[in-house]
Amino acid sequence: MNLNCIAMRTTNTFGIQFILRMNKLKNGIAPIYVRIVVDRQRVEISLKKTIAVENWNDSKGIARGSNLEARKLNTYLEQVRSRLTECYQELLLKKQIITADAIKNIFCGVKEKENTLLSVFDYHNKEMKSTLEWGTLKNYFTTRRYIEEFIQSQMKTSDIYLSQLNYKFLADFERFMRGYVTKDHKNSPCGQNTIMKHIERFRKVINMAIKNEWLERDPFQKFKASFTRTTREFLTADELSILESRQFSLDRLNMVRDLFIFSCYTGLAYIDVFELTPHNIVRGIDGEYWISTKRHKTDIPVRIPILPVPLAIIEKYKNHPQVLYTAKLLPGYSNQRLNSYLKEIADLCGIDKPLTFHIARHTFATTVTLTNGVPIETVSKLLGHTSIKTTQIYAKVIEQKISDDMTNLRLKLNDTKPKPQKLSAQ
């Protein structure tokens, strides 16, 4: 057996070799190095020992002879071999990636730099910059800021290592958020669902750390997020009718109103409306015009029959200068400007609701479809929902529809129910 190289029967090839660095030879004396080899990758460590070349057995990697000095050096070399083998076994038992550098670091007492929580957030935000929309990505920056404030105020430090994360940290952070007063929202505390959204984003970042093997256990394993079920704001049939019939003195308000109504009758979100081109208009199975596109948010295909109202809006703007210049289906504004103009429109129409462009999508789901008897399965498909549970957020409207239908049924049954006949006296 060659004592100069030890082979382990594992998925890695591991070897230890003692060598002289001849390029540092001086007066016939050379320094002794240990070479660690793992899967053909090798590193060398200076042992701070020297020996005369003539006293070195190169083939065996040990000192020649049996004198006291040679025996002491060979004992030391064997101790080094034993310690390096222990370092290898340590990585093996911890199921960590085994490299020559990793073994060297353990042997030399160099602890690999552990990832911190905020550095992992920064890594996530940098990596997802090209994948997430800015509106989504900026929420991760906000969550990071809250976590940083929590660490500074509650733990009196600037950052923590991932290994310090545990259930208590999460519970304390949730409690911190409940008492947190936002300065940019009229000094109001964060709502339950806002807090859970921050924790949900926190969890996604930690999942990424686990996948990268930066964290062995999941601190969220026993933590349960609890969202409060909310109702979605939408326009009633009367409010939608007022909006459709109102003409404004400013062209920009008329255009914003038309774009909003287009979404009310198609269910498309802001980004999906303004990505439409004439190529997205196709003939459907019924021979009528349909919108064929993909939801920007989920990349799920949707096909929507075009009702008369949105069809008229497409026709109205087909020669609009912005449409001709951009080759889009409709002209547009930024989401922020649209929502600003919609608030103005709501005031002029006497609609006492926080009108935003997304309310149009909710209006399609409720007032335009569900309340008119369109089955929830169909509505779910039109909205591009991945699960019908998402569509069931509009259950209140469905309950109203059920109530109306049962009232009509009750009246119908009362009309058709045979009336009791009077019995003739005997």
Tell me the three-class secondary structure of 30-72, residue by residue. Answer: EEEEEEEEECCEEEEEEEEEEEEHHHEECCCCEECCCCHHHHH
Question: Average pLDDT for residues 133-143, to the nearest whole number?
Answer: 87
Residue 2 is predicted with a pLDDT of 37
Residue 426 is predicted with a pLDDT of 45
Residue 230 is predicted with a pLDDT of 61
Pair 292, 282: CB distance under 8 Å: yes
Residue 6 is predicted with a pLDDT of 36
CA–CA gap between residue 99 and residue 9 (Å, rounded)? 16
Residue 8 is predicted with a pLDDT of 35
Question: Average pLDDT for residues 167-185, to the nearest whole number?
Answer: 81
Q: Which two tokens stand for residue 224?
A: 């349960």
**Please, where are the H alpha helices in 66-159?**
68-93, 100-107, 117-127, 134-154
Give the range among 37-41, 88-92, 229-233, 360-364 with minimum mean pLDDT.
229-233
Question: Average pLDDT for residues 208-212, to the nearest whole number?
Answer: 89
Residue 1 has pLDDT above 50, yes or no: no
Residue 2 or residue 38, greater confidence: 38
Element at 257 (helix H, strand E) = helix 251-264
Q: pLDDT by residue (tens digit) across 223-263?
A: 877 666 666 789 999 999 999 999 999 999 999 999 999 99
Give the range among 36-50, 69-83, 272-286, 387-401 with minimum mean pLDDT.
387-401
CA–CA gap between residue 295 and residue 157 (Å, rounded)? 43
Query: pTM of the entire structure?
Result: 0.56
Residue 422 is predicted with a pLDDT of 57
CA distances from 156 to 159, 273, 393 (A): 9, 48, 42
CA–CA gap between residue 394 and residue 91 (Å, rounded)? 53
CA–CA gap between residue 99 and residue 141 (Å, rounded)? 35
Residue 184 is predicted with a pLDDT of 53
Per DSSP (E only), the strands in 170-269 are none
Residue 262 is predicted with a pLDDT of 97
Pair 279, 268: CB distance under 8 Å: no
Residue 226 corresponds to which amino acid?
S
Provide the mean pLDDT of the chain: 86
Residue 423 has pLDDT above 70, yes or no: no
Residue 11 has pLDDT above 60, yes or no: no
Residue 424 is predicted with a pLDDT of 53
* The length of the chain, given as a count of residues: 426
